[in-house]
Structure 1
């Protein structure tokens, strides 16, 4: 990971599912849950996304904005949102700019084969834009509790 707790996160611009752009700075005054996940419509990613969806009202009540990030296309994100009724935006990061900024594009290994992929991790950014917490061992079914505890 490239950031430590307390670090000021640089403002960034990103494209969401409808093709529009957002900036981190537009969420000043709110806490931001920035969760990086490998792929739309895969079992663990769907479980994680739906866990956040099912607790969305609690996040809103506590002043949080949720943003998911993967390398999938905006079209894939829109289908994922529609299929699972996700109430938050998903950032499309095909050029891996955000992944590189946050250090989440890493070498992984499966069945002895090495490849590059997304490290499932979540960054909680406070109202002033400072990193409040990093969750590196994300538990998809318990992710809300990991964030809010």
Structure 2
């Protein structure tokens, strides 16, 4: 079942860009964050989306929020993608798609392409935004809009 606004996110862990285990309980309770799921590193729209988050990263930080990207790509792929585009935030590898299932991220385009969904999570771990759109750049606007209200 997909997470909805008002739901508390479940605890999760995944390997981050640096090869470390990221645990959600290290951020829940201490800061607001944006977690965005995207289909694949180094594709046109995914790169535009990641670079838009990068370009406005200081706006997210100024609002006290962290940004986390998630795709099923390997840690090695994430490392290359991060270096190539100078991404200042971590990417989580979801090769087994456990995080996608945990959040209830649907597939798009006849179920063939992993979905693109952004969640804004408040300090207490409560979902404040679920935005599902294959258009990459608009996710940043929607997330910032909600963060300014929190």
1:129 and 2:125 correspond: yes
- Counting matched residue pairs gives 144
Give the drift of 1:16.
Answer: 0.6
Structure number with higher strand proportion: 1
Contact 1:122-1:138 at 8 Å conserved across structures: no
Distance in 1, Cα, partners of 2:107 & 2:138: 24
**TM norm structure 1:** 0.90
The answer as to whether partners of 2:118 and 2:139 remain within 8 angstroms in 1 is no
Is the Cα–Cα contact under 8 Å of residues 45 and 135 in structure 2 kept in the other structure? Answer: no
Corresponding residue for residue 20 of structure 2? 20
Where in structure 2 are there 5+ consecutive unaligned residues?
146-150
TM-score under structure 2 length normalisation: 0.90
After TM superposition, the structure 1 = structure 2 runs for residues 68-147 of structure 1, keeping only pairs within 5 Å, are: 68-106=69-107, 108-109=109-110, 115=112, 117-137=113-133, 139-147=135-143
Runs of at least 5 residues in structure 1 that lack an aligned partner in the other structure: none
Which residue of 1 is the match for residue 148 of structure 2?
none
CA distance, structure 2, for counterparts of residue 44 and residue 4 of structure 1? 25
